Chains A and B, each alone.
Chain A
Amino acid sequence: MKSNEAMTKLPANPERATLDGKNKFLGFWFFLGGETVLFASLFGVYLGLRNATNGGVTSNELFELPLVFIATMLLLTSSLTSVFATMALKTNHFKRMIGWFVVTGLLGLGFLGLEIYEFNHYVHEYGHTIKSSAWGSAFYTLVGTHGAHVFMGISWITLLIIRNLRRGMDLYTAPKFYLFALYWHFIDVVWIFIFTVVYLMGKVG
Chain B
Amino acid sequence: MSAHAYKKKNPVWDWLTTVDHKKIGILYLASGAFFFLLGGIEAILLRVQLLYPEFDFVGAETFNQLLTMHGTTMIFLAAMPLIFGFMNAIVPLQIGARDVAFPFVNSLGFWLFTAGGILLNLGWFLGGAPDAGWTGYAPLSTTSPGNGVDFYVLGLQISGIGTLIGGINFLVTIINMRAPGMTFMRMPLFTWSSFITSGLILFAFPALTIGLALLMFDRLFGSQFFAAEAGGNPIIYEHLFWIFGHPEVYILVLPAFGMFSEIIATFARKRLFGYSAMVFATALIGFLGFMVWVHHMFTVGLGPIANSIFAVATMLIAVPTGVKIFNWLFTMWGGKVSFPTANLFAVGFIPSFVLGGMTGVMLSVPPADYQYHDSYFVVAHFHYVIVGGVVFGLFAGMYYWWPKIFGTVLNEFLGKLHFWLFFIGFHLTFFPMHFLGLMGMPRRVYTYLSGQSLDEANFAATMGAFLMGLATIIMVWNIIQTSVKGKKAGNDPWDGRTLEWAISSPAPEYNFAQTPLVRGLDAWWLEKRAGNKQMVAAEPLDDIHMPDSSILPVLLSLGLFTAALSAIYSNWVLAIGGLALAALSMILRSVIDYHGYHIHKEDLPAEGREGK
Contact = CB atoms under 8 A, between A and B. Distances in A.
A interface: dominant SS: helix
Contact of B236 (A35, A45, A163): A45
A137 interface: yes
A182 to B, nearest CB: 14
Interface stretch (A1-9, A24-32, A79-87): A24-32
A159 B210 contact: no
Interface residues of B, number: 42
A7 to B, nearest CB: 20
Interface in B141-193: 164, 168-169, 171-172, 175-177
A124 interface: no
B233 A53 contact: no
Nearest to A162: B591
Contacts of B176: 19, 22-23, 26
B221 A130 contact: yes
B413 interface: no
B232 A41 contact: no
Interface in B86-102: 101-102
Given A37-B207, A49-B232, A163 B222 contact: no
Interface in B462-506: none
A138 B203 CA distance: 22
B518 to A, nearest CB: 18
Interface in B205-253: 205-207, 209-211, 213-214, 217-218, 221-225, 227, 230-233, 236, 239-240, 243
B590 interface: yes
A134 B233 contact: yes
Contacts of B240: 41, 44-45
Interface string B546-569: 000000000000000000000000
Interface residues on A, range: 35 or more
Contact of A49 (B202, B236, B243): B236
Q: Which of A19, A30, A131 has the largest number of chain B CB atoms within 10 A?
A: A30
A108 to B, nearest CB: 18
A112 B203 CA distance: 29
B587 interface: yes
A172 B218 CA distance: 44
Contacts, number: 117
Q: Which of A31, A53, A160 has the largest number of chain B CB atoms within 10 A?
A: A31
Nearest to A53: B231
A130 B203 contact: no
A33 interface: yes
Given A26-B172, A26-B175, A27-B172, A48 B224 contact: no
A133 B210 contact: no
A175 B284 CA distance: 34
B217 A48 contact: no
A136 interface: yes
Contact of B203 (A33, A45, A49, A140): A33
A159 B231 CA distance: 42
B202 A34 contact: yes
Contact of B231 (A44, A131, A135): A135
A141 interface: yes
A30 B172 contact: yes
B369 to A, nearest CB: 24
B243 A138 contact: no
A42 interface: yes
Given A30-B168, A34-B168, A48-B236, A41 B225 contact: no
Interface in B40-96: none
A48 to B, nearest CB: 5
A138 B591 CA distance: 36
The 8 closest A-B pairs by CB, nearest first: A52-B231, A137-B223, A38-B206, A134-B232, A41-B210, A37-B206, A23-B101, A134-B231
Interface of B: 101-102, 105, 164, 168-169, 171-172, 175-177, 202-207, 209-211, 213-214, 217-218, 221-225, 227, 230-233, 236, 239-240, 243, 587, 590-591, 593
22 contacts: A23-B172, A27-B105, A27-B172, A34-B164, A38-B207, A49-B233, A49-B236, A52-B233, A54-B230, A130-B217, A131-B221, A131-B224, A134-B233, A135-B231, A136-B224, A137-B224, A137-B225, A141-B213, A141-B214, A141-B217, A159-B590, A163-B591
